[in-house]
Amino acid sequence: MTGLQTYCKETRSDTISILLHLQNIILRMIAKGTSLEPTCGALCREVERILPEVVCSVLTVDPAGLLHPLAGPSLPGVYSQALDGLLIGPLAGSCGTAAYLKTDVTVTDIETDVRWAEHKYLALPHGLRACWSSPICDTDGRAIATFAFYYRDTRGPTAFEREVVANCVYLTQIAIDRHERVLEHERRAFTDALTGCPNRAAYHVALSKLAGAPAGSWALFVLDLDNLKIVNDTFGHHAGDRLLQIASHRISATVSQGQTFRVGGDEFAVILESTDALDDLGRTTAKILEALSIPADCGGHIVAPRATIGGAPYSQVDSTVECVRQNADFALYHAKETVRGGFVQYWAGLRSTMTRRMDAIRDLSSALQEDRIEAYYQPIFRLDTREIVGLEALCRMRVGDDIISAASFHEGTADAQVATSLTARMMALVAADLRRWLDLGIPFQHVGINVSSADLSGGAVERVLTAAFKSEGVPLDHVILEITETVYMGRGDQVIQEAIRALRAIGIRVALDDFGTGFASLTHLLTVPVDIIKIDKMFVDHLELDGVSGTIVEGLIRTAKKMGIRIVAEGIETEEQVDQLRAIGCVLGQGYIFSPAVDRDAATALLLEHGQRASRRADTTKSTRG
């Protein structure tokens, strides 16, 4: 029985019932969120149930005008595959022509119709003799799909078939529209609005898809922009936003065969699957850093983006995606501490090193939160009179009944936030102890407080110090900030040295600690002077072994004296060392021979017994200029 005969026998109410039933099935699937392909597949199967003599097909049309099979459950797979990528046009079969002309195209005989001349060899072997196709257009009038009936006889559509197809075109249009809205929602959900890069959510999805990939088939970079905060603080967030956009574009362009994600405020990730990029990760990162370093216009301000990169390849050892992600994070963390502005590739052993460091950061953070940080004090003595002229405040952590020295948890200060919090706590403790000593009338000159590179580069040390001492009513001339030589000459030395100048400009004295362990020289002190130099214990230890250390220290003392810089010898342990230091002109020193670091009460007792008398303080200040 033909479709026409069926239509003639059905009453109008039966026709409406059939079409409503079809609509209900498909609209229910759309409402439940069934994806596009199974929805259109169900539509085709239901139509073929109603019209068993037709073969139903839905093709999509991409923005380039290429056809792609979406649904055709009764079409041979090889035929559907042959249509994939076919360009629409005036002679592109029924569907390609309908999409091109945006109108129905009926071909009653594929073998003889000119529009099928170049494609009939695809259809005829499968018994497909005729094809009627209808375009499906979006709201802008662009053809986005086609809905087609194939016939095994040479004929055109019946009136009933036209009603069915009219409904099918409408339902397919609804399904495609919903699909596009879902894709747009997903695009927004997985895209960073500022840079246009895939975001953190997309990053996690992409990583999850790599599970089970062959060893060596991919690698991961994580990258931090080093100067985003500075740009934001100096030029405003509009300049920072532009910096992020430029950096994103440059990274993506450099690793065009990889995926670039913005996963945080100033953090990006790159998944590499290109063989060339994987062959030499160092070379790939060098290209990224080189591309980033070109000065750029960021909202009217010229900025050279700077970045630090950590990377990890997926190897047989690293059996999970999560392991690779952690390895890359460890490498970045290590790079930021050791080669900021460069690249570190994960190596065996780095995980344990970084885990230990993160444990130290966690322990130190807990001690700060639980108020288990205490200030201990090691006195600085005059070598001749054995009077205390000052103290150095040293950090200690209380763990149960034990007191842990700073060396045991020093790795915890690798985190800048923890380091600055620790310094703030020490300043508050020292200020409170100084207030107590002043109220007791105890004689002392100053207390040295150690500060880190994070304290100086962050720019808050002056504010924190001033607030702590003001809160206790203690004058700032009772404090000296101690900076190690490695900090003085370390990464970002221009920022550090500028901070030192700013502190001295407002009257805060600065001591250079551990002098002789790094690369500082007296010539550096011409441009960035300090008030005190503390000679490292290494020189003191060698005074008894040879004359070289003595000569160096003696020359340093003479030169420093001319520059108005005081000298303190650290780590003195024997009377012979005291005698040798005095012989070469050293006046001040600290070490175990005098006293180890002690708690506040013991320090109070030492000050009461050995504190320098007020009548001698002026003389000491004069005699120790050098």
Structural domains in the chain, CATH included, are: 3-188 (3.30.450.40), 200-348 (3.30.70.270), 360-621 (3.20.20.450)
The answer, yes or no, to whether residue 625 has pLDDT greater than 50, is no
The answer, yes or no, to whether residue 617 has pLDDT greater than 80, is no
Q: Tens digits of per-residue pLDDT, 25-83?
A: 989 998 888 999 999 999 999 999 999 999 999 999 999 999 999 999 999 999 999 99
Question: Which residues does the annotation mark as catalytic?
Answer: 266
Q: What is the reported pLDDT for 622?
A: 47
Q: What is the reported pLDDT for 570?
A: 94
pLDDT band at 490 (very low <50, low <70, confident <90, very high): low
The 10 Å Cβ neighbour count of residue 216 is 12
How far is CA 322 from each of CA 143, 156, 343, 347, 359, rounded to the nearest angstrom? Answer: 44, 59, 21, 16, 19
The 10 Å Cβ neighbour count of residue 326 is 17
Q: What is the reported pLDDT for 614?
A: 54
| Helices and strands per DSSP (H, E), number in the chain | 26, 21
The answer, yes or no, to whether residue 262 has pLDDT greater than 80, is yes
The answer, yes or no, to whether residue 20 has pLDDT greater than 70, is yes
Q: Tens digits of per-residue pLDDT, 275-321?
A: 776 778 888 899 999 999 999 999 888 988 899 999 998 886 657 89
Measure the N-to-C terminal CA separation of the chain; round to a whole number of Å.
116
376 or 183: which carries more pLDDT confidence? Answer: 376
Q: What is the reported pLDDT for 316?
A: 65
The answer, yes or no, to whether residue 363 has pLDDT greater than 70, is yes
- Positive or negative, the CA dihedral 98, 100, 103, 105 is negative
Strands 566-569 and 588-589: parallel
Place of tokens 């009338």: 441
> What would the 3-class secondary structure string for 533-588 be?
EEECHHHHHCCCCCHHHHHHHHHHHHHHHHHCCEEEECCCCCHHHHHHHHHCCCCE
Q: What is the reported pLDDT for 392?
A: 96
Q: What is the reported pLDDT for 16?
A: 81
pLDDT band at 545 (very low <50, low <70, confident <90, very high): low
pLDDT band at 592 (very low <50, low <70, confident <90, very high): very high
Lowest-confidence region among 4-13, 61-70, 185-194, 345-354: 4-13
Cα–chain center distance at 358: 17
pLDDT band at 8 (very low <50, low <70, confident <90, very high): very low
The 10 Å Cβ neighbour count of residue 455 is 28
Q: What is the reported pLDDT for 318?
A: 59
The answer, yes or no, to whether residue 626 has pLDDT greater than 90, is no
> What would the mean pLDDT of 318-329 be, rounded to a whole number?
86
DSSP-derived 3-state class of residue 216? coil
The answer, yes or no, to whether residue 89 has pLDDT greater than 50, is yes
Q: What is the reported pLDDT for 509?
A: 93
Place of tokens 């221009």: 494
For 164, half-sphere exposure in the C-beta direction (CA atoms, 13 angstrom radius) is: 30
7 or 194: which carries more pLDDT confidence? Answer: 194
Q: What is the reported pLDDT for 331?
A: 92
Share above pLDDT 90 across residues of the chain, in percent, rounded to a whole number:
58
* Mean pLDDT score across all residues of the chain: 88
Reading across the β-sheet that carries 54-61, which strands appear in turn?
Answer: 67-71, 54-61, 143-151, 130-137, 105-107
556 or 113: which carries more pLDDT confidence? Answer: 113
Q: Which residues pair with 510 in a beta bridge?
A: 481
Q: What is the 8-class DSSP label of residue 62?
A: -
Lowest-confidence region among 28-42, 280-294, 349-363, 471-485: 349-363
Q: What is the reported pLDDT for 368?
A: 93
